[in-house]
Amino acid sequence: MKFKDMPYERPDIEVLERKIDELIKKQQDAKSGEEQFEINKEYYTLRKDFETAYNIAYIRHDADSTDELYEKENDYFDEILPRWSNACIKYSRALFDSPYRAYLEEKLGPVTFKNMELDDKSISEEILPLMQEENALTSRYDKIIATAKIEFEGETYNLSLMGPFARNKDRNIRKKANKAISDWFMGVTDEIDEIYDSLVKNRTAQAKALGFESFTDLAYCRMHRNSYDKANVENFRKQIKEYFVPFVAELAEKRAKRLGLDKLADTEIGVYFKDGNPAPVGSPEEILRSGQEMYSDLSAETKEYMDFMMENELFDVFGRKNKAAGGYQTYIPNYESPFIFANFNGTSGDIDVITHECGHGFQCFITRKDEILDHNNLGMETAEIHSMSMEYFTYGWMKNFFGDRYKDYLEMHLEDACTFLPYGTMVDEFQHIVYDNPEMTPVERKETWKKLEQEYRPYIDFEDTEFFALGGFWQKQTHIFDVPFYYIDYVLASICAMQFKIKMDDNFKAAWEKYLELCKLSGSDYYTNMIKKVGLNSPFEDGVVVEIVEKLAKKVI
Ligand SMILES: [Zn+2]
């Protein structure tokens, strides 16, 4: 069904809560695992109905912020979501305590039960007021960032519109843009410091109330980190520091030369070529059409997927007035439809939508018939492998998007992917230090960041831009505020996607088959098991990172 024809009906939370209570009762009265498994299907139906309505309302609200109906629906969902998740957790508890657990684990998978256990540890009635306060604090930060008004060359811009100036091919424009961004942050940094300080204290209090030693442990539960722990991540960071940092430093030196500079400064972040980064050549319509041709060529599965997406009008990617900013992929279960939302703006970011977001959508599409809904509950370190690997699998078609400059694009893409790893790891280490030391002052936090910059990005000079020189860069990184500890996931996934890149250069077809296998596994097993099943090495094993660096170095240096 075309997206525009999908009917919408508001779910009634009172009715839903009642139905969940009835299902809990039925589960408690059930006489066998088989019976419980059948009742669980009714629960899945409720969840699918809810997610379908929620996603339709959410997308339609983003598609037109002036639509009053969906504005109201969006507010309604904001209000009822905590009640809905509470009801679902209550239901999970009933299943978790089942006397037929062994049978259910076999049918639903052990990960389902492990995640239930983690959810159960992460919440209690007692901390609800703290959670509400936490939401209010993150909303305050989001609002400051979203409503930024930056004066630049006689006009006013928000932070995302400043992006193209900060990456302009003219270094003077970049310098001026960075100064304007820095000046704006200097005006709000005290308030952001105060918000973050309250967030750290609030989150620490939540953790203590739940019996955790620090917020880090609670965050690992909330992120469903069910197959690796803090020690694994720490060892992984060590490997990135030891092997990726010097590798990226070499890449930076090469890039500085290409740009005609002695050393990179913050003005060169995201800038790869003297005459500007490569941009796609066609109109937005042509980009989509080229995308369809590309996926037709790539494999029978991707052809079926992309034809389905186009036929059912499941892309809303052209820029339009009254459309929300940003981009994402989501899934509408009752219509087995992925949906991709974005705002094409003529930069290489438009192609990322066609490769990265389509990678997420493809994974949802090929697992659409999986009857176990919990398998869709993917950890981000797994989900990002699907999308990041697709960026590499589509390398062979980039000529269709970038014309003469496709080689520049490929060079930029691989360099950018490598350059991200030290930064992503630094964001993770920063948060570990912050939550291990919740009494740190705002000045100490900025000093910590500055020190980390020296360890992870010594090849970038931040001294000329006041706010960055102070150690304030992290205040631009919304994840640190909104979704704490969600970041190393990108780095872990990237290490797996890079392994696919190395494999496909050797044997494209064999690598694609393994990738397909991984997509099909969805979230049916633990991250560390699934990657092993498809022949990838675990990023946590010593020697894996250095091997990737050695192989990539041959391609890019
Ligand atoms: Zn993604």
533: left (phi over 0), alpha (psi -120 to 50) or beta: alpha
Distance in Å, CA 329 to ligand 1 centroid: 8
Q: DSSP label at 261? A: -
Distance in Å, CA 313 to ligand 1 centroid: 21
Distance in Å, CA 171 to ligand 1 centroid: 30
| CA–CA gap between residue 122 and residue 132 (Å, rounded) | 15
Per-residue confidence (pLDDT) for residue 509, from 0 to 100: 97
Distance in Å, CA 394 to ligand 1 centroid: 16
Percentage of the chain lying above the pLDDT 90 cut: 87
Distance in Å, CA 122 to ligand 1 centroid: 25
Distance in Å, CA 204 to ligand 1 centroid: 29
Per-residue confidence (pLDDT) for residue 319, from 0 to 100: 82
Distance in Å, CA 208 to ligand 1 centroid: 32
Q: Is 345 helix (H, G, I), strand (E, B) or coil?
A: coil
Distance in Å, CA 396 to ligand 1 centroid: 21
Distance in Å, CA 387 to ligand 1 centroid: 6
Contact 340, 358 (CB under 8 A): yes
Residue 497: which residues within 8 A CB-CB, separation 6 or more? 384, 385, 388, 389, 391, 392, 417
The CA-atom distances, in angstroms, between 432 and each of 207, 287, 437 are 14, 41, 9
261 by Cβ neighbours in 10 Å (0-12 / 13-18 / 19+) ranks as middle
Distance in Å, CA 119 to ligand 1 centroid: 23
Per-residue confidence (pLDDT) for residue 374, from 0 to 100: 93
Distance in Å, CA 479 to ligand 1 centroid: 14
Residue 118: which residues within 8 A CB-CB, separation 6 or more? 221, 222, 224, 226
Distance in Å, CA 327 to ligand 1 centroid: 10
Q: What is the pLDDT of residues 360-397, one digit of tens each?
A: 999 999 999 999 999 998 999 999 999 999 999 999 99
Distance in Å, CA 454 to ligand 1 centroid: 28
| CA–CA gap between residue 251 and residue 272 (Å, rounded) | 11
Contact 557, 410 (CB under 8 A): no
Per-residue confidence (pLDDT) for residue 188, from 0 to 100: 97
Distance in Å, CA 98 to ligand 1 centroid: 35
| CA–CA gap between residue 477 and residue 142 (Å, rounded) | 11
Contact 273, 257 (CB under 8 A): no
Distance in Å, CA 100 to ligand 1 centroid: 37
How much is the CA Rg of the chain, to the nearest whole Å? 24
Distance in Å, CA 382 to ligand 1 centroid: 10
Percentage of the chain lying above the pLDDT 70 cut: 100
Contact 148, 158 (CB under 8 A): yes
Distance in Å, CA 384 to ligand 1 centroid: 5
Distance in Å, CA 424 to ligand 1 centroid: 14
| CA–CA gap between residue 472 and residue 93 (Å, rounded) | 43
Distance in Å, CA 388 to ligand 1 centroid: 7
Q: What pTM, to 2 d.p., does this model score?
A: 0.95
Distance in Å, CA 8 to ligand 1 centroid: 27
Distance in Å, CA 39 to ligand 1 centroid: 33
Distance in Å, CA 188 to ligand 1 centroid: 30
Q: What is the largest CA-CA distance in the chain?
A: 75
Mean pLDDT of the chain: 95
Per-residue confidence (pLDDT) for residue 557, from 0 to 100: 66
| CA–CA gap between residue 532 and residue 526 (Å, rounded) | 10
Under-50 pLDDT residues of the chain = none
Per-residue confidence (pLDDT) for residue 83, from 0 to 100: 84
Distance in Å, CA 96 to ligand 1 centroid: 31
Distance in Å, CA 252 to ligand 1 centroid: 25
Per-residue confidence (pLDDT) for residue 181, from 0 to 100: 96
Which string of DSSP letters, residue by residue, matches 6-30? -------HHHHHHHHHHHHHHHHH-
Q: What is the pLDDT of residues 281-337, one digit of tens each?
A: 999 999 999 999 999 999 999 999 999 999 999 999 998 878 887 889 999 999 999
Distance in Å, CA 263 to ligand 1 centroid: 31
Per-residue confidence (pLDDT) for residue 528, from 0 to 100: 96
510-538 residues labelled b (16+ CB within 10 A) or e (exposed) = ebbebbbebbebbbbbbbbebbeebebbb
Distance in Å, CA 413 to ligand 1 centroid: 15
Contact 61, 8 (CB under 8 A): no
Distance in Å, CA 14 to ligand 1 centroid: 34
Distance in Å, CA 483 to ligand 1 centroid: 15
Distance in Å, CA 357 to ligand 1 centroid: 6
Distance in Å, CA 128 to ligand 1 centroid: 30
Contact 239, 542 (CB under 8 A): yes
Distance in Å, CA 493 to ligand 1 centroid: 10
Distance in Å, CA 251 to ligand 1 centroid: 24
Nearest to 425 by CA among 189, 156, 154, 233: 233
Distance in Å, CA 354 to ligand 1 centroid: 12
Angle at 132 between CA 128 and CA 134, to 5 degrees: 115
Angle at 335 between CA 106 and CA 486, to 5 degrees: 65
Distance in Å, CA 361 to ligand 1 centroid: 10
Distance in Å, CA 187 to ligand 1 centroid: 32
Angle at 216 between CA 537 and CA 381, to 5 degrees: 30
